[in-house]
Amino acid sequence: MEQGQPKAFPVHWEQFHRDARALAWRLASQGEWKAIVCITRGGLVPAAIVARELGIRMIETVCIASYHDYENQGSLQVIKPVDPAVIGLDGGDGAGVLVIDDLVDTGRTTAAVREMLPKAHYATVYAKPKGRPQVDTFITEVSQDTWIYFPWDMGLTFQPPLTKDDA
C-alpha cells in the first residue's frame, strides 16, 4: 500500500445493523431520552435503529452538508436547523436529547450541532481520532486515514488487490 493512501473499510448492512444495535445497548443505561436528533444524511439509518431499540418516538433531523463531492470535506452548510420544539425540551439546551450520526470524522459537524444543543448526548457508530473528543458515546474507532464505505453508498464491484501481482 502506498504511503498516504486512504485505507478502505467497507461496512455491510449486517455489520452496520449490529454496530448500531450495540450503540443502542450502550445508550440504554445512560439516561431517559426524550428525543433523537439525527444528523443527515448519515445519521438517518443508525437513528432509526437506535429509536426502535430504545422506544423513542420523537425523531428530528438537522441537515448539514460537509462532504460535497463524497471525498473531501468542505465548508459546513446548515440546510435545516433543529426544530425549535425539540430544542425547547428540558430548558432549550438539548438535555434529554440524543444526537446520532454514522461517523464523526474531524468533529466539525458535531461541533456545529453542539452549538445548537450544548447539553445533548452525542453518539456515533464510528469515530476517527480527530472527531472522537466531540462525541460522548461511539462503538468503533478507525484511523483518521480510513475511508468508511457505508452500505447505502456501495454497489457490488470488483476490488483490486492491495499490492500488484507481477506474475
Give catalytic residue positions. 101-102, 105
Q: Are 36 and 113 in contact (CB under 8 A)?
A: no
Report the alpha-carbon distance of residue 150 to residue 46 in Å, rounded: 11
Q: Strand, helix or coil at 41?
A: coil
**Which residue is listed with cell 476490488?**
159
Output the nine-digit C-alpha cell for 95. 438535555
